[in-house]
Amino acid sequence: MDFFDVVSVQEAINRLMEAFKEYEFKAEEVSILEATNRILAEDIYSHIDVPEFNRSTVDGYAIKSKDSQGASESVPSLFNILGEVRMGEAAEKEIKSGETMYVPTGGMIPQGADGMVMVEYTEKLDEENLMVYKPIAFNENIILKGDDIRKGERALKRGKRLTPESIGVLAALGISRVKVYKKPKFYIISTGDEIIDLDEELELGKIRDINSYTLYSAIVKLGGEITGKAIVKDDYELLRQQVEKGLDISDIVLISGGSSVGARDYTARVIDSFEGRGVFVHGISIKPGKPTILGEGKGKLIVGLPGHPVSSIIVFGAIIEEFIYKKMEVHNHKLKTKAIMDFNFPSSPGQQTYQMVKLEERDGKTYASPSFGKSGMITLLSNSDGYIIIKPHEEGIYKGEEREVYLL
Ligand SMILES: Nc1nc2c(c(=O)[nH]1)N[C@H]1C(S)=C(S)[C@@H](COP(=O)(O)OP(=O)(O)OC[C@H]3O[C@@H](n4cnc5c(N)ncnc54)[C@H](O)[C@@H]3O)O[C@H]1N2
Ligand code: MOO
């Protein structure tokens, strides 16, 4: 007999998206100096060409490239020097055949020129005459106008996590403030009569609260904010009070423990007690993490995460992170690498299995070997480098096959 009405990971995410299709993570405008790691909430289109003029990438002389054809040490090409282009100033003169101007690195290429000869391949005979010892190709040593970013082009896409490089793009476009998503707010509740906090004395039968700390850290890593955190005993009223408090100040309330079918597992009842859709998933075919609950109360997402530390963090990544990233249109957010499987591993058909692995480099190749342990053991995660997702239709892992490893 199964106490759960188990659905696939995909179906759980579909129901979540459906239940919260009207829910919006709000945006705010911040300075680009405060935008690192934040998620862009708007597309950024360029209103200019970057660079706005053809620029030299070297210190040297701007010429018509065909004038240098055949130039060598023994038979240099001769040019008439018109002057020099100053940094930060427009090049006023036009280059004609046989003419040249000195241009510093980053300086503007004068009209008519289509290549730069590096200064080391030239020799000045006097202030007006230059010898060039080497031929150059068309557009050699030049960044053309719009080569970096073209006017009208989408330079950054909504859903992009802003890196130092993307901040550089914004700076290049002269954009000092951007719209980013507000940090999603989470309230974390650990439930269980046996759970004690770090400053409490550890008596026999009690265990320290691990989950609210790992979840706290996972939320910070994701770019979220924690509005509060609490430990509550297995008591319906106390749990309800905490959930209500969380709902009023957060986007998402996480409840760890109490999601299974034990006599004192109140999570589902508490979720159903609030105005709203109530529980819409109770049980997901994921291993570990099967007894997960998803529900809606007062318009907010309430999640009952399994109490086992590994299960709670895996479900957080597989379901909650996916939900937030889907809403914010963040793509390719999982860090992954390819590795050769160093082991055979049968999986449970019909379940999406998360198998922890360790990575090892041998002869220039990356191999993955399994980490074994129960989902109640936090070191199963901390001793692993990543995990492999075995899909429900697969029979398991075959030694020698190459698979993607998602990094922890
Ligand atoms: N008859 C069945 N029993 C269980 C099933 C099942 O299908 N049938 N599923 C098992 C699985 S799988 C999991 S996972 C757990 C989930 O149970 P709960 O979500 O109700 O969690 P608890 O019973 O409260 O706790 C489970 C375990 O984890 C420890 N725990 C709880 N909270 C924390 C915390 N904050 N920090 C560290 N450790 C925590 C708790 O002490 C328990 O040992 O149900 C199985 N049972
Ligand atoms: O599947 Mo339960 O979530 O530990 O191990």
Give pLDDT, residue 261: 77
187 - beta bridge partners?
Answer: 228, 253
Pick the residue whose CA is nearest to atom 46 on ligand 1.
260
Dist CA 350 CA 140 (whole Å)? 59
Atom in ligand 2 nearest the alpha carbon of residue 374:
5
Atom in ligand 2 nearest the alpha carbon of residue 315:
3
Give pLDDT, residue 1: 42
CB atoms within 10 A of CB 87: 11
1-4 long-range contacts, CB within 8 A, separation 24+: 2/283, 3/260, 3/261, 3/283, 4/261, 4/282, 4/283, 4/290, 4/291
Whether residue 135 has its Cβ less than 6 Å from ligand 2: no
* Ligand nearest to C-alpha 6: 1
Dist CA 246 CA 152 (whole Å)? 44
Q: What is the 3-state secondary structure (H, E, C) of 164-188?
A: HHHHHHHHHCCCCEEEEECCCEEEE
Two structure tokens written together for 101: 């101007």
Please give the CATH superfamily to which domain 55-143 belongs. Molybdopterin biosynthesis moea protein, domain 3. (2.170.190.11)
Residues 6+ apart with CB under 8 A from 237: none
Domains in the chain: boundaries: 9-26+183-327, 28-50+149-181, 55-143, 336-407
Tell me: ipTM over 0.90: yes
The DSSP element (H or E) to which 216 belongs, if any, is helix 211-222
- Cβ atoms of 136 and 122 within 8 Å: the answer is no
Give pLDDT, residue 273: 97
Q: Which CATH number fits domain 336-407: 1.10.8.10, 2.40.340.10, 2.40.110.10, 1.10.645.10?
A: 2.40.340.10
Domain at 28-50+149-181: CATH code: 3.90.105.10
* Ligand nearest to C-alpha 260: 1
Give pLDDT, residue 3: 63
The DSSP element (H or E) to which 402 belongs, if any, is strand 402-407
Dist CA 115 CA 92 (whole Å)? 17
Helices and strands: H and E segment counts in the chain: 8, 28
Dist CA 298 CA 384 (whole Å)? 38
Whether residue 313 has its Cβ less than 6 Å from ligand 2: no
Whether residue 297 has its Cβ less than 6 Å from ligand 2: no
Omega into 370 within 30° of 0, i.e. cis? no
Which of 267, 282, 310 to probe ligand 2 with, by most ligand atoms within 8 A of CB?
310
Residues with pLDDT less than 70, the chain: 1-3, 263
Dist CA 392 CA 113 (whole Å)? 62
Residues with a CB atom less than 6 Å from ligand 1: 190, 192, 194-195, 207, 209-212, 256-262, 265, 288, 290-291, 306-309, 311, 375-376
Give pLDDT, residue 18: 98
Dist CA 90 CA 169 (whole Å)? 23
Whether residue 308 has its Cβ less than 6 Å from ligand 2: yes
Give pLDDT, residue 258: 82
Whether residue 352 has its Cβ less than 6 Å from ligand 2: no
Q: Which fold has domain 9-26+183-327?
A: Molybdenum Cofactor Biosythetic Enzyme; Chain A (3.40.980)
Residues 6+ apart with CB under 8 A from 145: 49, 51, 52, 53, 54
